[in-house]
Amino acid sequence: MLDLVKSALDASKELEAHPSGPTEPALQALEALQARRVTAAQLASSQAGKLLRPLLKHASPAVSQAAASVIAAWKECVRREAEEGRATGCGGGSMATPAPVPSTGDKVRDLCRTTFAAALCLAVEELRAAPSPDEEACATPGALAVAMEEELRRQHGGVTEGYKAKFRSLSFNLKDRKNPDLRRKVLTGRIAPDLLVTLAPEALASDAQREENARIREKKLFDSAPSAAKQPTTDQFQCGKCRQRKTTYYQMQTRSADEPMTTFVTCLNCNNRWKFC
Minimum CB distance to Zn ion smaller for 72 or for 242 = 242
CB of 268 to Zn ion, least distance (A): 8
CB of 274 to Zn ion, least distance (A): 10
User: Of 57, 52, 68, 58, whose CA–CA distance to 2 is shortest?
Assistant: 52
CB of 276 to Zn ion, least distance (A): 15
**Rounded CA separation 62/26 (Å):** 9
**Rounded CA separation 250/234 (Å):** 11
Minimum CB distance to Zn ion smaller for 7 or for 272 = 272
- Given a contact cutoff of 8 angstroms between Cβ atoms, the answer to whether 59 and 17 are in contact is no
Residue type, 153: R
Minimum CB distance to Zn ion smaller for 139 or for 267 = 267
In this structure, the number of other CB atoms found within 10 A of the CB of residue 269 comes to: 14
CB of 236 to Zn ion, least distance (A): 14
**Rounded CA separation 113/111 (Å):** 5
Minimum CB distance to Zn ion smaller for 56 or for 270 = 270
- Given a contact cutoff of 8 angstroms between Cβ atoms, the answer to whether 174 and 186 are in contact is yes
Residues contributing to the site for Zn ion (CB under 5 A):
239, 241-242, 267, 269-270, 272
